[in-house]
Amino acid sequence: MKKQGSPPLKIDRLVPKVRKGLTVVITGHGKGKTTAALGMALRALGHGMRVCIIQFMKGDLYAGEWDGVKLLGDRVELHATGKGFCGIQGNPYPKSEHRANAQDAIQLALEKMASGLFDMVILDEINNALQLKLIDLEQVLEILETKPPLMHLVLTGRDAHPLLIELADTVSEVVEVKHAYRKEIEPQPGVDY
Amino acid sequence: MKKQGSPPLKIDRLVPKVRKGLTVVITGHGKGKTTAALGMALRALGHGMRVCIIQFMKGDLYAGEWDGVKLLGDRVELHATGKGFCGIQGNPYPKSEHRANAQDAIQLALEKMASGLFDMVILDEINNALQLKLIDLEQVLEILETKPPLMHLVLTGRDAHPLLIELADTVSEVVEVKHAYRKEIEPQPGVDY
């Protein structure tokens, strides 16, 4: 390839004067919430950080990130703690079982945060779990309150609670403009799972 | 930790009857577009796929994903081809230089797609580059038209062109609900870069 351009004269590196662990909420009904959190994990790992990912409600359906994360080495761990999406057609488990699993996920999150071992904790689909009453608002508030000041906390899932939006530092709503499944295209590996 | 829940009885694995390479656009002004694309890369790598990430306009400012991606092994490559955000305060390069770099990025994208080596190609900030006229609509259309049928193509950046939204299979708009920088919190490593 014949290049027209040239590299930048120098590469800068941002260093914040004040370090702060952010609370980030990624909500909305569009595609890209879990992957946005996974991308933050990749970014954090690039900075030498350690990351814990806890997936609520997921665990019964293979997702590429389970193996993707293994490629990243021992500074990241992923726990898929659930039994699928409670209440959707075909899911065979009673709500009480979904709640028991989500309660375990909350305890795991509190333990991982308290361990001091992680620079970023991602609670994937926790918004969903709260909306479905598999966990209680007080429990999520406890997580926000006990978050170590320098640790980043990322909460994903549709229908984020208004109080969490109020308390978070950065909130994005991923809006569905269009989605392949509406054209009868099946979920595709790499993109959808 | 005393567990209340139990694992799912079985783990299912989706296998689409018809495989299709999707064109995905992640646009909007909120935080999470690049990270959503990086998360798709992680997901794809977990499925054993090979991924090429080409960042337009980025290259002058260190981002954690540059080192994060290196942890993932040799099935992924990342090219930061730019010299920063054209037109923003403090950027020292004339528009002609930004355009030369973006033109290189387009050629690189066409070559990588034509190589047949990749299951997913991510063109990060290409929407931005188009909106700033560093590249032309016809060039992006050529990319969409020459995309191998089974290859996933992911286009990110704010202000996606309406025709790209029309042609894409899945489009998400990441809306900013709030952002830490509006509270005078500096960009933080791991989350913002």
Residue B87: predicted pLDDT: 81
Residue A144: predicted pLDDT: 98
ipTM: 0.97
How does strand B23-27 pair with strand B170-178? parallel
d(C-alpha B54, C-alpha B34), whole Å: 11
Quickly state the pLDDT bin for A2 (edges 50, 70, 90). Answer: confident
Residue A57: predicted pLDDT: 96
Query: Nearest C-alpha of chain A: how many angstroms from B132?
Result: 17
Across the interface, whether the CB atoms of B6 and A93 are under 8 A apart is answered no
Query: Nearest C-alpha of chain B: how many angstroms from A78?
Result: 13
Average pLDDT over residues A95-124: 98
Residue A88: predicted pLDDT: 85
Report whether pLDDT(A27) > 90. Answer: yes
Which CA distances in Å does A185 have to A69, A189, B16, B122? 27, 12, 9, 20
Average pLDDT over residues A35-63: 98
Residue A111: predicted pLDDT: 98
Chain B residues whose beta carbon lies within 8 Å of the beta carbon of residue A177:
25, 27, 165, 171-173
Residue B110: predicted pLDDT: 98
Q: Each residue of A65-82: pLDDT tens digit?
A: 999 999 999 999 999 999
Residue A9: predicted pLDDT: 94
> Which are the contacts of B120, defined by CB distance < 8 A and separation ≥ 6?
A190, A191, B40, B41, B44, B49, B50, B51, B52, B151, B152, B153, B154
Residues B42 and B173 sit within 8 Å (Cβ to Cβ)? no
Average pLDDT over residues A26-40: 98
d(C-alpha A100, C-alpha B11), whole Å: 18
Of B126, B117, B155, give the one whose Cα is nearest residue B36.
B155
Average pLDDT over residues A157-163: 98
Report whether pLDDT(B134) > 80. Answer: yes
Of B58, B171, B187, give the one whose Cα is nearest residue A179.
B171
Residue A90: predicted pLDDT: 87
Residue A32: predicted pLDDT: 98
Report whether pLDDT(A22) > 90. Answer: yes
Chain B residues whose beta carbon lies within 8 Å of the beta carbon of residue A150:
none
Residue B143: predicted pLDDT: 98
Chain B residues whose beta carbon lies within 8 Å of the beta carbon of residue A44:
64, 68, 189-191
- Percentage of residues in chain B with pLDDT exceeding 90? 96
Find the residue in B nearest to A107 (Cα). Answer: B1
Residue B1: predicted pLDDT: 77
**Phi, psi of A36, rounded to the nearest 5 degrees:** -60, -40
For B100, which of A5, A13, A43 is closest by C-beta distance? A5
Report whether pLDDT(A46) > 90. Answer: yes
Find the residue in A nearest to B111 (Cα). Answer: A1
Give chain A's mean pLDDT: 97
d(C-alpha A78, C-alpha B7), whole Å: 15
Average pLDDT over residues B171-184: 97
Give chain B's mean pLDDT: 97
Q: Each residue of B70-128: pLDDT tens digit?
A: 999 999 999 999 999 988 888 999 999 999 999 999 999 999 999 999 999 999 999 99
Average pLDDT over residues B128-141: 98
Of A154, A161, A173, A27, give the one whose Cα is nearest residue B175.
A173
The token duo for A55 is 């997936």
Query: Nearest C-alpha of chain A: how many angstroms from B125?
Result: 15
Average pLDDT over residues B166-192: 97
Residue A139: predicted pLDDT: 98
**Domains in chain B, please, with CATH?**
23-175 (3.40.50.300)
Query: Nearest C-alpha of chain A: how many angstroms from B28?
Result: 9
